[in-house]
Every structure is written in structure tokens, then in C-alpha cells.
Chains A and B, each alone.
Chain A
Amino acid sequence: MLQNKTFLLLLFSALFFLNCKEDKGIPVKLPPTQNPTTQKVSNTIAYAEGFSISTVSDFKVLKINNPWPNAEKTYRYVLISKEEAAKRSFMKGEYDGIIITPVKRIVVTSTTHIPALELLNEEETLIGFPGTDYVSSEKTRQRIDNGSVRELGKNEGLNTEVLLSLNPDVVIGFGVDGTSKSLNTINKARIPVIYNGDWVEKSPLAKAEWIKFFGALYNKTTQADSIFKTIETDYKAAQKLAQTVSKRPTVISGAMHKDVWYLPNGTSTEAQFLKDANVDYLYADTEGTGSLALSFETVFEKAKSADLWLSPSYYPTMDALKQANTHYTQFDAFKNNAIYTFSNTTGKTGGVLYYEIGLARPDLVLKDIIKICHPELLPEYTPYFFKPLK
């Protein structure tokens, strides 16, 4: 039972990568980022702390510093062209993997990796994914439906045989603590595994900047830089716009599991979005690594009269919320129908779009929140992820 619980907890920790299965297909068209070639680009990494790319003579070195919280080791990978690789050799153990670029066949393990491939026009290189039902992006969805992308089982128990038979150039994994047995097996079979640590980053822009990591794999550094620049510019413009208002609505988030209320702490990415949207998040002054787990009493006293309630866990309707706990009905946000959720905005096979695209497109998330909190600022804008709870 204990083993079982540990397993459950690990999976639970991966919450941000997974999503719930509901058979509601809501087609969402995202605005494209501007044509990359017209953008002036810079080659530096401005926000992300988890990776760096440096050039050493005829190859690049990709360093992953923080693939999971408190990781002790830095992982170093060589990114080298086929021709150059034929010319030289590396000392055994000098690097954690040699990756021939541009990558032609890739396996990624989190839906958050999919938008990067699509933005770089490299979705054709994706040959396998664990839990394909979670993928909602239309382009990749189509490739899954026509059988071009193999199902690899569950992330924590990847179907190693199928993965090995696919023989990808690289597997982009993610680890809660780096103990994934299946990824270790794959690494031993000389298929390089890179742990992607985008989810460990602290700010929305840092998470989005991981597109440069994918850019390096495809020799599309300039294009990746340009895409990120556009997202950054849009994000900052929205943030600046939000600062122009003086009335800041009070906001509460999360919901109770049994009698403990889980909500994002003040240093989380979610709180960062709320800060940038210029709202008064009631727990903005808290700190921590995980979610805040507060007693009902505390939250009730502080947040009963909050103007807005964002992301009430996975509850799909007001009625479901009420049935789960009658205390919810006492909150002003409940009485005034001022609850917004992203969990009803799903793709054809039930994947929640926010989990898939939100990380790559923080500009859209921020605008969604600004639209909800200061509707007068973006009169023409329609939110992509957040919808009122009905």
C-alpha cells in the first residue's frame, strides 16, 4: 500500500503535465506568433535558469542545470552535426549524451513539449508520445489519428520495447526526481534522454523560453529566439496595460480536498501571472515550493468576500462545486457567479488546453486573466483558456 501511495504521489506531482479526461471538444484557435524572420533576435537566455547553450569549436554544449527541484547534477549534452560527429570522438563519460542535430526523430513525454515542436514547424519529427489522448493541438492530433505518432503508454511506465523499436534520435523526458526506470533503460540502450526542466522554472516567461532549448535541437536557434521575443513582447505589453488601472479586484484560487484548501503560493507562476495582471491575489505575500495547504477556516475568513475566484480545482460546474462542499456557496464569488476555470477548455480527446499550451504561451494566459479582472482593458479579446464556471 505504501509503495502504491508513493507511486500515486509521484504521479500527482506531475499534475501540471497531465490533465483530466472529459469528452468535450472545444476547438480553440490560437493566434500565431508573428513571422519569425522579420524579428530582430538576440542569442542569450534571459529568464530561464534551467538550461544554457554554449558553442565549443564545431559543436554546441547543452547544459541542463535543474531538471527537477534540488537536482544535484548538471547534465551536459553535445549537439553536433552528422558530418562533424564523424570527424571526432569524445571521452567516455565526458558528456551525458551526444545528439546529432538537426534531430529527425524525436519522442517527447509531456504535452507541454508539443507547442514548441509546432511553433518551430517540427511536429513531423514527433514519432512517439506517452498518453496521446492528452494531446489537443490540431496538427499533432491529426498525426496521432493517422498513426504517425506511436502511443507509448504512461509516462511513469513507458513502454520501453515500443520506444526502443522506434529508435528516436533523442527522448525528451521530465522527471520529478530523476528516478524514472524506463528512461534509464532507454539511456542505457544508447538513445540519449534529455530531462526537460521547464516546469521547475519560476516565472511564466522563463518557462516559455524553453522553446530555445528545442530550437537548439533542430538548429533553429534564430527562429526560436524570434518566437520567444514575440511572446515576451506581447506579455510585457499586456503587463504594462494592466498596470494602467487603479482598481485591483481581490482574487482567490484553488479549492478544498476534504477540509484542506490548496492554492498557489505567492512565489508560484500562477501568482506571478496574477501580479502581472495587476490584481490583489489574497495570498500574494506567501512563499514556498509546493501549493499552500490551508485550513478551511483561514481561507473562509480571508477570502469569503473576494471579488473573483480563479481555477477552482477540476470542478466542471457550479453545481459540482456546491455538491462537493456546501461551504463553497458562502463565498461572494460563488454567489456572484464570478468563478473562472480553464479545466473545461479541452481538446477533441479531452486534454486540457491550458496544461498543453499555457506554458508555451504565457502572453495568452496573462491576457485571459486581464480580460477577466479588468474587462475594460481588452474589449475585443476573447479568452482562450479561462471560461466562466456555469
Chain B
Amino acid sequence: MKNKYSYSFLILTIILLVLFCVNISLGSISIPLKTIVSSFFTATDSLSNQEYIIQNYRLPKAITAVLVGSGLGISGLLMQTLFRNPLAGPFVLGITSGASLGVALVILGSSIFGGFLATFLLTKWSLVIAASLGSFLVLLLVLIVSSKVRDTMAILIIGLMFGSITSAIVSVLSYFSSAEQLQQYIFWGFGSLGDLDWSELQIFALLYSLGIGFSILSIKGLNTLLLGENYAKSLGLNIKQSRLLIIIATSLLAGTITAFAGPIAFIGLAIPHVTRQVFNTSNHKTLLPAVFLFGAIIMLICDSIAQLPNSDYLLPINAITSLIGAPVVIWLLVRQRKMAF
């Protein structure tokens, strides 16, 4: 199995590395290659403007793009296999909705709760903590539900319902909020990759790695689940345990990413499909690393486009991911005439 795909993996890895370098070299201002290279060897306190941009803005942004793309792709893959539903993604299960609610409560709720929350509001960590708490609480809810409801479709619908409740609460909160608070919430909703400094990125990477670790642990369960829950049971798989492992991995990945980069649309849903079309396999030992590579590559491309190289403007990353991603999936499906799932 490994030999069959090793060339594909090699090529994808090279593409990823090249795109990473391209992403760093492109931006609103043109920076000569010499400066880009020198910025990696210059001490932090003696950086020129352009070196500062490379070292403290573009590099963390490119790394964030890799983490976001791969993480969302993998959590989408996990959800699709768990629910045996091609439409599943991190948005399903209400994980992203939970994060949004957490953020809305902090930004929009500060005028209602006042005091401590209002002063806490302007720190970036408050949003990260709120979003993580939000998705974690939804995870807990899903876990409780899944212990009572055996049907995965029911859990899926409960997740969607939670999304509806969330947006209703956000509507009420926004009605009572000031323009500045609404503005802040809207900007969070656009998604952003370039907003993390190195210390934030470290914590992001740590939580992300935990999520990836859980994902790798769940590979065996994922492959068996593809055969159907009853068959998996007959093979001796502890369905409950596998489900728990997969849900934890997804929540960690999707929750952390939403917390740090905002709700990024489409990637979670589309990347697994693109990967399956190209690799034509359902073995998660192959799919997982392939989704990692594809997710990172596509996110880097999206970010490079959102930067509108050499222009002063930036487009919201959220819009680009859908604009670029959706036609790719349509094209693949039309070409293959069926969905590999």
C-alpha cells in the first residue's frame, strides 16, 4: 500500500514546501529574495521593516495556514467517516457553532455582563479561551447525547439543531450590543490567518498536535467503521470508545482552529473529497496524511490569493476558501462522475 502512493506523497510534500516558500515571498509589499533569506538570520531587535514583516508576520501566517488547512481537513475526514455522511464536517456537530457562541458571549455579552468581562474583552486570549470553552461544552453535550442515542444520524441532526440555537442566541446578543462590539464579532467571523504572534502560535501548535495525535490513534477505528457499525462490532471494535476518540480529536482540531483563526468555511468539507478523488482509496492510513498535505497546500494557495500579491488590500480568507474550493470539488465530481466515499 505504501509503495503505491509513495510517489504521490513525495510530489505533494515537494509542492507543499514550494508553496510554503511562495506564500512567504508574496504579500502586499514586494520584498527582495535577499531580504527574505537574511530575515531568518537577523536578530529580532535589529530587524528592518521588511525583515520584521517576514519574520513576525508572513512566517507565522504561513505556518498558521498549514495548521488550519491540514487540521480542518482531517477533522472533516473524521466526521465524514464517523457519520458515514459526505456532507459532514467540523461545522456539523455544532463544534464551530459552540466556538462562535463562546466568542459572541465575550464580545457581545460584555455590555450585558459588564465589569470583569468588559475589561477582559480586548485581549485576544479571551476570544481563544471562549471559543475553546464553547466547542468543548458542545463536545460534552454531544458525548452525553451519543451515550443515550445510538444512531449517528440523530447525533448529526442534534449538532445541526445546536447550530440553530447558537445563531438565535447570537442574534439576541447582537441586538443589545454596541456598534463596536458588532464590528468586532463580524471581523472575527471573516476568519484570519495573519493575526497570531509567535507565542500564540506555540500554544496553537501544541493543541493542534494533540488533535493530530488523537486522529492517528483513531485510524484503526475509522477503517473498521467504514464497514458499518454492526459489522465493526462483530469484528470486536469498541464502537463507543472509537466514537469518543474521533469526537475528541475533531473537537480539539476544529475548536482550536476556530478559536485562533475564526470560522474558516469549506476546507473541512471539501479537502477529504478532493483527496479521495485523487487517491481513490478509503484506507485512513493513506487518507489521513494525504488530507494533511492537501489541506495545507490548498490553504496556502487560498492565503496567497487572499493576499492579492502586490496590492494594498486583503480579502477575507473565508470567502476565498469557498470561492476556490467549491469549483474544484464540482470539477472533480463531474470528471469522475461519482463520489468516492
Contacts and interface: CB of A to CB of B under 8 A. Distances in A.
Interface string A51-92: 000000000000000000000000000000000000000000
B189 A5 contact: yes
Given A295-B28, A324-B122, A8 B186 contact: yes
Interface stretch (A14-22, A98-106, A120-128, A372-380): A14-22
A8 B174 CA distance: 7
Contact of A258 (B114, B190, B197): B190
A20 B190 contact: no
Contacts of A293: 313-314
A269 to B, nearest CB: 18
A304 B49 contact: yes
A8 B182 contact: yes
B236 to A, nearest CB: 43
B321 to A, nearest CB: 15
A258 B194 contact: yes
A260 interface: yes
Contacts of A11: 174, 179, 182
B185 A8 contact: yes
Contact of A15 (B57, B183, B192): B183
Given A295-B314, A296-B194, A298-B28, A12 B262 contact: no
A4 B170 contact: yes
Interface in B265-316: 307, 312-314
A46 interface: no
B103 to A, nearest CB: 12
A257 interface: yes
A12 B123 contact: no
Given A18-B178, A18-B179, A297-B57, A259 B186 contact: no
A1 B189 CA distance: 11
A288 B132 CA distance: 39
Contact of A327 (B57, B178, B179): B57
A294 interface: yes
Interface in A309-331: 313-316, 320, 323-327, 330
B56 interface: yes
Which among A19, A21, A22, A313 has the highest number of chain B CB atoms within 10 Å?
A21
A103 to B, nearest CB: 29
B155 to A, nearest CB: 22
B215 to A, nearest CB: 28
B116 interface: no
Interface string A1-39: 100110111011011001111110000000000000000
A300 interface: yes
A295 B307 contact: yes
Contacts of A304: 49
Contact of A259 (B174, B180, B195): B195
19 contacts: A4-B167, A11-B179, A12-B182, A15-B180, A18-B178, A19-B178, A154-B175, A257-B183, A260-B314, A297-B53, A298-B28, A298-B29, A300-B49, A314-B180, A315-B122, A316-B122, A323-B123, A325-B197, A327-B197
Q: Which A-B residue pairs are the 9 nearest by beta carbons?
A: A258-B192, A259-B194, A257-B187, A295-B28, A297-B28, A18-B179, A320-B122, A298-B312, A298-B28
Interface of A: 1, 4-5, 7-9, 11-12, 14-15, 18-23, 154, 157, 257-260, 292-298, 300-301, 304, 313-316, 320, 323-327, 330
Interface of B: 27-29, 49-50, 52-53, 56-58, 61, 111, 114, 118, 122-124, 167, 170-171, 174-175, 178-190, 192-195, 197, 262, 307, 312-314
